[in-house]
Amino acid sequence: MSRFMNWKVALVLIVVLAFIGIGAWILLSSSDDEEENPAAATVVTLTVSGSGGTTTILEAIKPAFEGAVPGFRLETLTGTGTGGGVEGVLGGTLDIAAMARAPKDNEAIEYAEFGRSGQAMFVNEGVGDIELTSEQATAIIFGEIVNWSEVNGPDMEIVLYVRDESDSSTTALRETIFGDNPFPESAQIMTSQGDMINAVEGIEGAVGFGTWPAVVAAGAKVKPISLDGLRPDDPDYPITGALGIGYLAERQADMQPLIDWLVSEQGKNALRQLSVIIN
């Protein structure tokens, strides 16, 4: 009887020691995994909105950034304009303002520019490849040229779309070639980059303008107009706007991985694929 009891006790001890060993192994393995991949434990989510064009570009490069920088995630929201993005950052509802200009003097935020965007006129695919002089482009915008055949295009009525006066593309094109004359009554005013793209893509003979890299990022079936012999992705294209992000100074540490990636070779290559002009 004594030998039988000793045997049972020994068996129980062996089983207990085995479970202790397995538990220790699991804990050590879990600890090793956390040490090898500390970013898996914490993910920094950066919420972005603002300029419609810049937001669209950041949305397009999001997979490449998140793949290259573990532990960081971009959450892009519908564009609210550069001013709306700045207000969101200052009000604490956004982490990043997607911006199409540098901050104004009264906008107390940090700013990092990552490229330039060609502010371009573009047409419905059915119009085909169009090359214009600045004078011809202005004549189309102000309703003086009304058929594409007048500029060596197809015999097709021009359907004109423009942006609102507060838009950065409108400002850039007015400062360089359009001037200050009011848009004609025949022009249909679009209040967002997305609406402009959809209109030009869907209407035969349509022409509009906007941030060209955002058009590329959206995969729109439209064609850019070459202006004075230059396409909007040419480094010498004369009508460009800023592409940048704005953020609070106290969030610099959270923003730095994104900034570093945007100016890295990998980041610049991703941006170039969207026709962003890198200086």
Is the pLDDT at 46 greater than 90? The verdict is yes
CA distance 20 to 24: 6
Is the pLDDT at 17 greater than 50? The verdict is no
Mean of the per-residue pLDDT values of the chain: 88
Is the pLDDT at 67 greater than 50? The verdict is yes
For 43-116+241-272, CATH gives: 3.40.190.10
Assessment of whether the complete model's pTM goes beyond 0.85:
no
Beta strand segments in 55-168, E = 72-76, 96-99, 110-124, 131-132, 159-163
Amino acid identity of residue 130, one-letter, is: I
Looking at residue 19, its pLDDT comes to: 47
Is the pLDDT at 236 greater than 70? The verdict is yes
Arithmetic mean of pLDDT, 129-135 = 96
Arithmetic mean of pLDDT, 26-38 = 47
Tens of pLDDT, residues 257-271: 999 999 999 999 999
- Give the lowest-confidence range in 6-20, 30-44, 83-97: 6-20
Is the pLDDT at 40 greater than 90? The verdict is no
Looking at residue 41, its pLDDT comes to: 56
DSSP state letter for 232: T
- In the beta sheet, which residues pair with residue 122? 208, 224
Is the pLDDT at 29 greater than 70? The verdict is no
CA distance 216 to 27: 49
Arithmetic mean of pLDDT, 215-228 = 96
Arithmetic mean of pLDDT, 182-201 = 95
Looking at residue 9, its pLDDT comes to: 44
Ordered by start, the domain boundaries in the chain are: 43-116+241-272, 117-227
Is the pLDDT at 15 greater than 50? The verdict is no
Task: Check if 43-116+241-272 and 117-227 are the same fold.
Answer: yes
Is the pLDDT at 33 greater than 60? The verdict is no
Task: For residue 239, give the 3-state DSSP assignment.
Answer: coil
Superfamily of domain 117-227: Periplasmic binding protein-like II (3.40.190.10)
How many Å is the maximal CA-CA distance in the chain? 113
Is the pLDDT at 38 greater than 80? The verdict is no
